[in-house]
Amino acid sequence: MTATPPTPGGLAVPDGLRTIEWKGAAGPFPLLLSPSVFAPTSTSTLVAGALEVPAGATVLDVGCGSGVLSIVAARLGAGRVVGCDASPEAVADATMNAERLGLADRTEFRLGNLLEPVRDVHAAVVIGDVSGIPDRLAEESGWFPGGHAGGPTGAEVPVAMVETLGECLETGGVMYLPTGTIQNESRVLAAARRAFGEANMDEIVTRELPLPGLLAKSQALAQLVADGLVNLRRKGSRFLWRITVWRCRKR
């Protein structure tokens, strides 16, 4: 494979990939992304900032994408990180990114839907940053180039993850679960309360973000709002949506 000029860190960039710099927790560091792999977002940044990893712990990163949160977990002291994703390109990119950052000995990335490929893993920390935006909005926004969105209401994929977590999270372990008002958030939270109990869920951080103008004009969004599935706050001429990161402890 030919390569383009090297990144600032001195490593060559394979053709067809783009380089971004992660500036969130445990950064900065470069990431390489294939065209179809989901880039880190504001949600990724919030989850990374909330993440606490006990020294030497096993961490499971569901929907690992580029591998950014797996890399953050490893840099925060995890002894073993296993990431998984339904996209072969994401698994390849995550593996490559971890290797380029010298973390191949503590990271592993597997292909499969949600928790199916990691049933043998028992983690102290689970990162549950999976696709959580309605399919039609994902299509219109271009945020999900690989086509892996969150289901018709944006809740279906995260709910399935929570409901099938099982023994992948150890007793006493924690899941970091982001939710957003741009999805059917109440359904995701209801599933989490059933799985963990409301007393075992802590709101760690929340942030409002402006909705891109393209989506603000979306008929699909207007219908989701009318149906009570998406909740936005208007501020002047802009619409705002909110991200919240929850820490859910298994008892």
pLDDT per residue rounded down to tens, the chain (251 residues)? 334 444 545 567 777 899 999 999 999 999 999 998 989 999 999 999 999 999 999 999 999 999 999 999 999 999 999 999 999 999 999 999 999 999 999 999 999 999 999 999 999 999 999 988 898 888 877 666 655 688 999 999 999 999 999 999 999 999 999 999 999 999 999 999 999 999 999 999 999 999 887 788 888 889 999 999 999 999 998 999 999 999 999 99
d(CA 76, CA 229): 36
What does DSSP assign to residue 183?
S
The domain at 41-209+241-249 falls in which architecture?
3-Layer(aba) Sandwich (3.40)
pTM: 0.92
d(CA 183, CA 249): 23
- Reported as half-sphere exposure (CB side, CA atoms, 13 A), residue 231 has a value of 11
The answer to whether the beta carbons of residues 72 and 78 sit under 8 Å apart is no
Task: Annotate 197-214 with DSSP letters as a single string.
Answer: -GGGEEEEEEEEEEPPHH
